[in-house]
A and B are shown apart, each in its own frame.
Chain A
Amino acid sequence: MARMKFLLDAERCIECNACVTACKNENEVPWGINRRRVVTINDGKPGERSISMACMHCTDAPCAAVCPVSCFYTTADAIVLHDKDLCIGCGYCFYACPFGAPQYPRVGNFGSRGKMDKCTYCAGGPQADNTEAEYIQYGANRIAEGKLPLCAEMCSTKALLAGDGEIIAQIYRERVQKRGYGSGAWGWRTAYRETVAI
């Protein structure tokens, strides 16, 4: 079985935000919830780099480790998903996540937290694949259709790669060898406890 991962090539990312709106478009994510976002460091200075961030679908995901109701599960493709029917919106996963992925809608006039929402790797949720119920709760299930997450598919400069970890690491490796520079596969050591050796 493939081990699905995200790989962000910071030398290519231009902060165009296509990944962000592609996600909104595909999953009809409402205003105020950002399953994916682009962070820029050294903004406006030499060395400026941008990084597109979402749930990295970690190996031994820390969110799952801290969840008091055990709503997380990992698919056969190693995608980390959660069951919103179980989620109690406690926010523990937010504190555990090294990438700031979990999002919470405010559901009342006093700012109380709703159920957690995050990137599903366009793989829907626990309901039957590609049903209306799944779409309403989790968004699209492209994996079930044999497609990859739309954010990576639509990335303007092909900075964001998604797919089997071995294959995207190979693409990145070849790219770095060809051009002679690369700042590494961002976040991989934290998420997958490995890195891409060039």
Chain B
Amino acid sequence: MLIKRSEARAGKQRLAAAYAGLSAGGLDRRAFLKQAGLTGVGLSALGAIPLTTVRPAAAGPTNFAQPITRIKNICTHCSVGCTVTAEVQNGVWVGQEPSWDSPINRGTHCAKGAAIRELVHGDRRLKYPMKKVNGQWQRIDWDTALNEIADKLMAIRQASGPDAVFWLGSAKQSNEGAYLMRKFAAFWGTNNVDHQARICHSTTVAGVANTWGYGAMTNSYNDIRTSKTMIIMGGNPAEAHPVSLQHLLSGKEMNRANMIVIDPRFTRTAAHATEYVRIRPGTDIPVIWGMLWHIFQNGWEDKDFIRQRVYGMDDVRTEVAKWNPQEVERVTGVPEAQLRKVAETFAKEKPATLIWCMGATQHSVGTANVRAFCTLLLATGNVGGNGNGANIFRGHCNVQGATDVGLDVVTLPHYYGLDANAWRHWSRVWEVSYESMMARFDSPQMAETPGIPSTRYFDAVLLPKDQVQQRDNLKGMVVFGHGGNTVTRMPEVARGLEKLDLLVVADPVPTTFAVLANRQDNTYLLPICTQLECTGSRTASNRSLQWGEQIVKPIFESKNDYEAMYRFAGALDRAAERRNMAFRLQAECFKTYEIGPEGPTSESILKEMNRGALSTGYSGQSPERLKLHMANQEHFDLVTLRGKEGTPVAGEFYGLPWPCWGTPEMKHPGTHILYNTNLHVKEGGGTFRARFGVERNGVSLLAEGSYSKGSELTDGYPEFTTAVLQRLGWYDQLTEAEKAQIARQGGTASWATDLSAGIIRVAMEHGCVPYGNAKARANAWNLPDPVPVHREPIYTPRTDLIAQYPTLPDRRAFRLPHLGQSLQNRMPQVAPNFPIILSSGRLVEYEGGGEETRSNKWLAELQQDMFVEINPRDAAARNIRDGAWVLVQGPEMPRDKQVRVKALVTERVGPGVAWMPFHFAGWFMQEDQRSRYPQGSDPYVLGESVNTVTTYGYDPVTFMQETKVTLCQIRAA
């Protein structure tokens, strides 16, 4: 390999050269790359950017003669929320220290967190704005880029309306960034705005919220230390949330707790379990109903809990009665004795918690799966206390927050929905008129219609116009911080991307979007910095908000989300002016914010959100309070997360986990455990939410004889409104100022829309939870399956079960057609040619689509090849040896195409099942797309994407994609 002497930093180079080949640092990045080449790892396009064009971000050894600043931020990878402590010298991040004070990670990290400093060294980061000209990347400046993009967007708006642009945001954005993105889309005039939660836990949010009120993790990672039994079903936290295992294993050791893993794959988590149950992929509901069959049969259910706090459990009994042990074994493959043992343990050795991740959610029956899980928890009385609950491990670092702030096609921020009341509420918060907001849309009706989800945007590009229920097809797409290889059916994705009139990718790295389709023009890349390079709050899976400080200034020419959107808005206004359009965005959308040198300040955005986010209790977490928690991390208890007496954070829960009711001045401590009736509401107690009315077919939906500690109402009660306050005679306890605010809003308000937060205050004074006190719903009548029923995956190998357990009929939703039975009925012809079940999942070294982590040299070195896990039996039948290349084909791929990956022959997967990680991209059906990346911004490691093989299949409630069960054929290459 050719070695070229670097022109920069000659002195250091000589020193390094003197110790040629030594391992330690001091080699600058270019030297490192050369060395990497020498060690035989094939890397193409070694750093060819002249150093003069970029902001130097190099780090050398810490110079102990210079002052070192320590700055705390939060890891940008998974949802555990590990604190990252950076040592910064002279504006450069030179070292990373353990964050001992954080009660969440206590100094520790996983491979990603321990390598996070590399992200802001940025060898392979996108360095400046670029555009494609005749298929070649060209460098441009920010203003030119934004002006050109804005012109093209306004042209689309003029010709096809605001709904023709798809805004894809990110779970990597801060709460403030994600909220701003949602607001931006609203001001643009569309609900076509989404983010990764769609493909992460959208079904959890829908299923869990429809059960008891809020679609979030009920307890915390730390609280699992107190569990006596934990079932991990459809999750592999040892790889996906490694630091959470610290808490799980501590619980297992300290309490001698049962740790049961139910999964089709013997995961690294299962290796540490006390019991492992292998199931056929896609049979979660029969497994849960099979457990409940034993529980009901033996009377192990919690009868008092069900009577007081659960609605509709008898309807579940009827369904469960069908799942006798023989039928369960026939469908799922789990033997009777094992399931009985697991059921008995879960029901009797309490507190018991159920932990799940995307193994449960990413199914065409995702919402129903999650509902079944909740039902099991309710039947055994395992919700609302220490050590129990639905511990839903979210994926990305801020996917919980981005979901809460409404970066979603079905709702405005904080689950207010899209109806006129919701628009009026947020118009008030944004200080604009309701009418002016409606005028931004094609029609008020479109403002109230859910948009097109991120799993289907390409269908909305490709389908005939009359199949898409909006003025026109999607024509333009703006992506902030989202991978392009994370949604299924990639051959279709590539066609959709190719057909778009405009594609804008704003991200720290180019992402798969930049290379997947063979686009010639009208494609722009905008460099956005990571959250490590800006300030803002992010919400961990346990609902705690943590404030991150800027570690270093954005590197190269990258900008943070706030500034990028602010300038984007300005460019749109100028483009509108040039076209004589009345549309304006910047002045209205950003008028409530303080504008600093790096765009709107995160503090001012959070404060606006605090004012409006009453429904989820994101109202008490002011920036000041969050910063105080970060400064006093060491004062929180490891297990209870409570601030210790005599400290500035005494009595408060770490990160003020939402709901943190009322205004910041009310000093609510946050809610560590949801629906916990053992605490006063002012101390973080709660009840199940009264969200679905007060009665159904003559049966009360309110709790019976159950209430949170200290409540003056000792039975169920509806959510609080001005009318309820009047009926209770508490209305006059509102202050004059609060009454005046309610009067300005039209004289009536509910706890969630009263911007004075007076209704919340008065309710809490009486020990009542503002959202009411109801029963959780075992029967959710508004869902396609009110009580979950088993439905075979669309691509099922068990064609004998289709007649008995069919998927839903074809239907329409989210402005698009949704195929079901018509596709499943073809399986008798398809399945014989594709005999192996294919599932996908995560590796510890990479995250999400993997573009960022595969561009991190410390991580990329650990996983250099895309692979498929295949059982020795299936491998032997196909003459496949471990480590050999194989070709994998899916039923929806072009007939002559396959993906080429390495075989990992292992008993980790059962016979007839294969598994692939989902982090790879850059090879597409055997085509190496490295040359399509902008020079010097290609990730170190490329590989085939599993989603090139995955197929059709969507959850009816959220359009979650089916990634966990499809079919494939594998043969030796």
| A interface residue numbers (CB < 8 A to B) | 11-12, 14-22, 24-33, 35, 43-50, 84, 103, 105-107, 109, 114-115, 117, 130, 132-133, 135-140, 150, 153-158, 175, 178-180
Contact = CB atoms under 8 A, between A and B. Distances in A.
Contact of A28 (B24, B36, B256, B909): B24
A190 to B, nearest CB: 24
A21 B506 CA distance: 28
Interface stretch (B37-45, B531-539, B765-773): B37-45
A114 B25 contact: no
A11 B253 CA distance: 10
Interface stretch (B514-522, B854-862, B958-966): B854-862
B107 interface: yes
Contacts of A109: 1
A2 to B, nearest CB: 20
A14 B268 contact: yes
A106 B908 contact: no
B35 A21 contact: no
B15 A136 contact: yes
A43 B861 CA distance: 20
Interface string B396-417: 0000000000000000000000
Given A30-B36, A117-B23, A157-B108, 17 more contacts: A12-B249, A14-B271, A18-B108, A21-B111, A26-B95, A28-B27, A35-B23, A45-B907, A84-B22, A107-B38, A114-B20, A136-B19, A136-B26, A138-B24, A140-B61, A156-B242, A175-B253
B96 interface: yes
B630 to A, nearest CB: 20
Interface string B76-98: 00000000000000000001101
29 contacts: A14-B239, A21-B112, A21-B862, A22-B109, A24-B115, A25-B115, A27-B23, A28-B27, A29-B23, A31-B857, A35-B23, A43-B906, A84-B22, A105-B21, A105-B23, A105-B39, A106-B39, A107-B38, A114-B22, A115-B19, A132-B26, A136-B16, A136-B61, A150-B96, A154-B109, A156-B110, A156-B243, A157-B108, A157-B246
B276 interface: yes
Nearest to A33: B23
A25 B19 contact: no
A27 B35 contact: no
Contact of A17 (B252, B845, B909): B845
Contacts of B109: 18, 22, 154, 156
B245 interface: yes
A25 B245 contact: no
Most buried by A among B15, B23, B98: B23
Contacts of B908: 43-45
Interface of B: 1, 15-16, 19-27, 32, 35-36, 38-41, 59-64, 95-96, 98, 107-115, 117-118, 238-239, 242-243, 245-246, 249, 252-254, 256, 266, 268-269, 271-272, 276, 844-845, 857-859, 861-862, 869, 906-909
B844 A32 contact: no
B61 A31 contact: no
A41 to B, nearest CB: 11
Contacts of B861: 24, 31-32
Contacts of A11: 272
B641 to A, nearest CB: 19
A31 B20 contact: no
Given A27-B24, A136-B24, A32 B862 contact: no
Contacts of B276: 46
Closest 4 CB pairs of A and B: A28-B25, A114-B21, A136-B26, A32-B39
B95 A107 contact: no
Contacts of B869: 44
A132 B61 contact: yes
Nearest to A89: B21
A106 B20 CA distance: 10
Contacts of A18: 108-111, 113-114, 242
B22 A25 contact: no
A157 B590 CA distance: 44
B36 A31 contact: yes
A114 B242 CA distance: 35
